[in-house]
């Protein structure tokens, strides 16, 4: 019933996945669906990827993994975040794989699994330069040795994460790859089978084929958005999401008329002002105040005044609007388009934040 909604085109998500597979010589895919599938809707998107035959799904939180299991997803699900000891039992109960980033968590996992007579499936996380979670290269040999000696731990994978892969010219990515290979070489020295290696995020998938290894972890590019507006386009992925609304109110204002909280915009001449029923309470950034634009009747209309919690206003200059006229905040209309990358520049942030801020108050509609 709400005049604002998010429209997700499932056929475009499938198209993007196919392009990524072609670009990576049909590497196995761990589709990253964390943060509500980057705003596209966790359950529906995960169900689609399972149908399309991805090898596994990646999430950030234990709770996201549980939601997927409750919805009937049977694919391997890997939880990327740091693990607390009190959570380990839940990972086991819901058949979730998880990153083990330290000898301490490794020890606690082995201890609990031994007491239960169960086996935990884990991926060893190496910090190759991101500096977030993971065991350092200097400590990786003892870490891997302990993991292989543990009787109740199945080391399915070993992984790391890039810090600068969005920039194909940044030398740090190759440095991280080299460090990761150095850590992985421990398995050969110990005479053990090397588990599944993965390090390629969206930037790695796009620009560093030497990082594709045994499985890739595409995230934002699955949804047709590049990691940054400055990224070179090497795969013609398409945005699968449209954010749209309708004009809820329209008024003519005289010169010298102020709009919204703080009166940060005042008309210099007579103007036609339309109100759009969506705001920062929906995750549409307040940083777009007096900076962002929308499409109405195929024309770009600037946001005037501050974005409110539930509404914002745009200047239609001399064109009168009717309540119910379609407004496009993200997507195409009559040959014009507004992209997530463009919005992120207006808001002085990254495309990831624009997408993941779009919250559950906005209904999702799935087409194709």
Residues acting as catalytic residues: 34, 261
- For 25, which DSSP code? T
Residue with tokens 């047709």: 224
**9/83 Cα distance (integer angstroms):** 34
- For 243, which DSSP code? E
The secondary structure element, H or E, covering residue 146 is: helix 140-149
Distances from the Cα of 124 to the Cα of 95, 198, 223, angstroms: 17, 10, 27
Among 73, 126, 125, 115, CA closest to 92: 115
Residue with tokens 């930037």: 203
**15/368 Cα distance (integer angstroms):** 12
CA atoms within 13 A on the CB side of 324: 1
| 101 touches 82 (CB < 8 A) | yes
As a three-state string, the secondary structure of 51-77 is HCCCCEEEECCHHHHHHHHHCCCCCCE
| 362 touches 283 (CB < 8 A) | yes
């Amino acid at each position: 019933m709400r005049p604002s909604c998010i429209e997700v085109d499932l056929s475009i998500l499938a198209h993007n996945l196919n392009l990524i597979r072609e670009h990576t010589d049909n590497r196995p895919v761990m589709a990253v669906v964390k943060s509500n599938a980057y705003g596209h809707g966790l359950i529906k998107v995960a169900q689609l990827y399972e149908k399309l035959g991805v090898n596994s799904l990646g999430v950030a939180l234990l709770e996201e993994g549980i939601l997927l299991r409750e919805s009937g997803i049977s694919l391997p699900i890997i939880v990327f975040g740091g693990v607390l000891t009190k959570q380990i039992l839940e990972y086991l109960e819901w058949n979730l794989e998880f990153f083990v980033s330290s000898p301490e968590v490794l020890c606690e996992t082995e201890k609990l699994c031994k007491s239960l007579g169960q086996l935990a499936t884990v991926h060893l996380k190496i910090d190759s330069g991101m500096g977030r979670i993971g065991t350092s290269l200097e400590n990786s040999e003892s870490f891997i040795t302990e993991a292989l000696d543990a009787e109740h731990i199945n080391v399915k994978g070993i992984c790391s994460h890039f810090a600068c892969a969005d920039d194909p010219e940044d030398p740090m990515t190759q440095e991280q790859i080299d460090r990761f290979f150095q850590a992985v070489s421990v398995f050969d020295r110990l005479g053990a089978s090397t588990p599944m290696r993965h390090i390629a995020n969206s930037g790695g998938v796009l620009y560093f084929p030497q990082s594709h290894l045994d499985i890739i972890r595409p995230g934002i590019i699955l949804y047709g958005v590049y990691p940054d507006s400055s990224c070179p386009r090497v795969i013609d992925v398409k945005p699968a999401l449209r954010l749209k609304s309708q004009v809820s109110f329209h008024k003519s204002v005289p010169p010298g008329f102020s709009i919204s909280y703080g009166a940060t915009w005042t008309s210099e001449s007579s103007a036609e002002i339309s109100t759009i029923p969506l705001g920062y309470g929906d995750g549409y950034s307040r940083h777009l105040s007096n900076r962002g634009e929308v499409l109405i009747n195929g024309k770009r209309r600037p946001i005037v005044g501050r974005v409110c919690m539930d509404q914002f206003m745009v200047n239609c200059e001399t064109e009168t609007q009717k309540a119910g006229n379609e407004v496009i905040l993200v997507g195409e209309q009559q040959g014009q388009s507004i992209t997530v990358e463009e919005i992120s520049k207006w808001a002085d942030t990254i495309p990831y934040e624009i997408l993941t801020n779009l919250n559950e108050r906005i209904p999702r509609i799935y087409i194709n």
